[in-house]
A and B are shown apart, each in its own frame.
Chain A
Amino acid sequence: MSRMTPSQDDRYRQATAQFGAALERLARAFEADPDLRLDLLQDIHLALWRSFAGYEDRCALRTWVYRVAHNVTASHVAARRRVHFAAAASLDELAEAAGDDDPERSVGDQQALDRLLAAIRALKPPDAQVMLLYLEDIDAAGISDITGLSPGAVATRISRAKALLARRFQTGGAR
């Protein structure tokens, strides 16, 4: 491995200070196995650190970090769950599967998180990514930059993600 330059090191530190927790949530969303999740998270950090050798302020730090992290995750998922790909659902399909009268809509925080993770893992890759970025509070333009989807396609998916969340999850005061 080549020697780390100060700027590469600094950028990595800055990125992980700002987005380290989000990267961990991303790994959690796509990998249920704790050991493999740690491995994936370490892969993301390594790829991120390596990527900063060629960063040169080519785009916003946030966009760069999420692009690298999502691309590493997509490779991990593709390698791990090739056979599951055909079974993955779109946001529309998942929202329809959850009826308005779902008796489990009011659930505790941990249960809600577990169900949210299960829903994300069941989604097709682009939909799962839009959902995750929406949960991280990234705006539509930012999601478009990170995913490569058009702003219109992102807006449609955000709206579907909101509908899915509204149908399937009711937390906090709703308990």
Chain B
Amino acid sequence: MSHDAPSPDIKTLWQAQESEMTTMTLDQLQAHGAKFQSKVRQRNRREYAASAFVILIFSLYLIWFPAPLMRLGSLLIIAGTLLMMIQLRRRGSTQALVRSPLAADYITAYREQLVRQRDALRSVWLWYFGPFLPGLIAFMAGLSLGPPRLPWPLIAGEALLTAAVFIGCVLLNRRGARQLQRRIEDLDTLRQQTD
């Protein structure tokens, strides 16, 4: 057999593989669709539960802490959490997930998917972390001014830790966005290739 041409058997072998499921009934399709939507709803519910917890804690802070700045910070964090929940609902609904160019050619569809992911990562600081920033800054300022007056190393440590987590998340997301951008550029090159 020549090494320059593949064995004709490999195609036959590939196509002759046994099939187990070649079609689905309407009931099966509906059940699978419901399962998919249920997974998305479950994920959203987890996010909402976490947000509800944050709102509960800062509502209690609002009542407990007498310092005006801490109360203002708590109020802003609650508002930021609500804003983030609205964004999550807008971006993560099942309707948004099924709205993709499924019947476009592969490069177009894949590129669009990568662009969507890249843009989400690029803007995550704005819609996911951003809404919490004013509240956190006000709360920290309230903590440092008191009452109750906390030792400044504790406050500085907390502020540094919070800033580090924020900056770390933003940098990681931006790195992810840059990697996606490189893949997008690869696809663009691929599309322009003629051979």
**Given A49-B29, A75-B113, residue A147 in contact with residue B105 (CB < 8 A):** yes
B91 within 8 A of A: no
* A58-B13 contact given A38-B21, A75-B113, A78-B113, CB 8 Å threshold: no
**In the assembled complex, A121 has its CB within 8 A of some CB on chain B:** no
Contact B15 A67 (CB under 8 A): no
**B13-A112 in contact (CB<8A):** yes
Interface contacts beyond A136-B14, A171-B7: sample of 15 additional A-B pairs, CB < 8 Å, sorted by A = A1-B29, A13-B23, A20-B23, A45-B24, A45-B29, A50-B98, A64-B103, A67-B109, A113-B17, A135-B14, A148-B106, A148-B107, A153-B194, A166-B3, A166-B7
> What does the 1/0 interface line of A136-163 toward B look like (CB < 8 Å)?
1100000001111110110110000011
Q: How many residues of A contact B (CB 8 A)?
A: 69
Contact residues of B with A, CB < 8 Å?
A: 1-7, 9-15, 17, 19-24, 26, 28-30, 32-34, 36, 98, 100-110, 113, 183, 190-191, 193-195
Closest beta carbon of chain A to B105's beta carbon, Å: 3
Residues on A with beta carbons closer than 8 Å to the beta carbon of B17: 21, 24-25, 28, 113
Tell me, yes or no, whether A11 is within 8 Å of chain B by CB: no
Q: Which 3 A-B residue pairings sit nearest by Cβ, starting from the closest?
A: A20-B22, A148-B105, A165-B6
Q: Assess whether B7 is in contact with A170, with CB atoms less than 8 Å apart.
A: yes
